[in-house]
């Protein structure tokens, strides 16, 4: 595990979705989820103009970035802009069709948290072959079919996730259609944590939804347990 990232921060990785959060604001949903136990946040807005994405990233980071790591999906430029604005943004998550991960590391620098999506054996093996310290964690999935990412690879299921996680020493987050009832099985399959979109963003009570996930996963952060 990288010194940049506390292993406990991987327990529940919230990925934002503006449409699913509406009519509530994304920062409000994020703040509620963090209060309920979310341990890391990824701001994902695939089609937002750069100005709007940076504004949202700064708003989310100002709400929760001093409590949990806040990452941005794909956009190293947004990460750098938010940092330049003084926002406590921790890093970037890149996918297989995004900025090459080694280039993202060079752009974002040695202190940024950097996550990478991987699902297939070649992708996992390529991640394992990266220079040490390039990537802090992998997002592995989709575990199940999900409408929030229609271009996801063939769903892995829990058994497929277990095979994928066994191919790498990097910590693996289970992502893609992850349900509360999957949490314990995914942890047993080698998941370092869960990455969740609709299970929290679409819930009328994001705090309660986050709490259900962390309790089902079996690793309750101390502040939530209290």
Q: Is 75 known to sit in a ligand binding site?
A: no
Q: Is 44 known to sit in a ligand binding site?
A: yes
Q: Is 197 known to sit in a ligand binding site?
A: yes
- Please work out, in degrees rounded to the nearest 5, the angle formed at the alpha carbon of residue 149 by the alpha carbons of 175 and 4: 45
Q: Is 140 known to sit in a ligand binding site?
A: no
Q: Is 163 known to sit in a ligand binding site?
A: no
Q: Is 151 known to sit in a ligand binding site?
A: no
Q: Is 96 known to sit in a ligand binding site?
A: no
Q: For tokens 């769903």, what's the residue?
A: 155
Q: Is 123 known to sit in a ligand binding site?
A: no
Residue 199 and residue 179 in contact, taking contact as beta carbons nearer than 8 Å: yes
Between CA 211 and CA 219 the distance in angstroms is 11
Residue 128 and residue 150 in contact, taking contact as beta carbons nearer than 8 Å: no
Q: Is 146 known to sit in a ligand binding site?
A: yes
Q: Is 43 known to sit in a ligand binding site?
A: yes
Q: Is 177 known to sit in a ligand binding site?
A: yes
Between CA 137 and CA 45 the distance in angstroms is 21
Q: Is 73 known to sit in a ligand binding site?
A: yes
Residue 43 and residue 57 in contact, taking contact as beta carbons nearer than 8 Å: yes
Q: Is 117 known to sit in a ligand binding site?
A: yes
Beta bridge partners of residue 139, listed in sequence order = 117, 173
Annotated binding residues for Mg(2+): 74, 98
Annotated binding residues: 42-46, 73-74, 98, 117, 146-149, 177, 197-198
């Amino acid at each position: 595990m990288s010194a940049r990232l506390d292993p406990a921060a991987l327990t529940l990785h919230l990925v934002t979705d503006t449409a699913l959060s509406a009519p509530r604001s994304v920062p409000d949903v994020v703040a509620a989820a963090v209060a309920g136990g979310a341990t890391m946040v990824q701001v994902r807005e695939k089609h937002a103009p750069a100005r709007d994405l940076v504004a949202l990233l700064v708003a989310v980071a100002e709400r929760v970035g001093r409590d949990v790591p806040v990452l941005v999906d794909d956009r190293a430029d947004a990460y750098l802009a938010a940092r330049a604005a003084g926002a406590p943004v921790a890093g970037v998550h890149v996918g297989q069709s995004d900025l090459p991960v080694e280039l993202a590391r060079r752009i974002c620098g040695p202190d940024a948290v950097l996550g990478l999506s991987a699902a297939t054996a070649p992708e996992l093996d390529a991640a394992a072959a990266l220079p040490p310290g390039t990537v802090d964690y992998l997002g592995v999935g989709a575990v199940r079919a999900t409408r929030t990412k229609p271009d996801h690879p063939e769903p892995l299921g829990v058994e497929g996730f277990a095979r994928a996680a066994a191919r790498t020493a990097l910590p693996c987050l289970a992502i893609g259609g992850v349900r509360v009832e999957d949490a314990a099985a995914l942890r047993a399959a080698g998941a370092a944590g869960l990455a969740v979109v609709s299970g929290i963003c679409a819930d009328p009570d994001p705090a309660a939804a986050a709490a259900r996930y962390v309790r089902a996963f079996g690793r309750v952060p101390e502040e939530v347990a209290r």
